[in-house]
Copies of this chain bind each other. A is one copy, B any other.
Amino acid sequence: MAQTLDTVFSALADPTRRAILAMLLEDDMAVTDVAEPFQISLAAVSKHLSILAEAGLILRERRGRVIWCKLEPDAMRSASVWMQSFGQFEPVDLDAFERFLEDELSEGEDAAT
């Protein structure tokens, strides 16, 4: 969990990882379930999850033989503050967000195809 601007921004720079975060926004998920919609190997997804965890963006917690992934959105705060300082963007537009999320999800899956 280095959680520097470097690690956070570069974690967010990959579409697969952003898609994973969007999925985790819905609910906590097991690694295998996270991997399911993507075409890449489980090992590759596992690496992505490690990068997200290293950036502090998710937590992984073993329960039995399943490892549960949980979003840790607080890790984005410093990066968000950094970005916002560059322009006084209007408060979150949820409609716009929905659209982004959908684009992102399909993008992520396409990328994995």
- Nearest Cβ on chain B to A2's Cβ, whole angstroms: 13
Is A88 engaged at the interface, CB distance under 8 Å to the other chain?
A: yes
Copies of the protein in its oligomer: 2
Q: Please classify how large the interface on chain A is, using the bins under 10, 10 to 19, 20 to 34, 35 or more.
A: 35 or more
Interface of A is mostly: helix
Binds B, one of A10-18, A26-34, A39-47, A60-68: A10-18
Contacts of A96 in B (CB 8 A): 78, 81
Interface string of A47-77 (1 = CB under 8 A from B): 0000000000000000000000001011011
> Which positions in A face B, CB cutoff 8 Å?
5-6, 9-10, 12-15, 18, 21, 25, 71, 73-74, 76-89, 92-94, 96-97, 100-101, 104
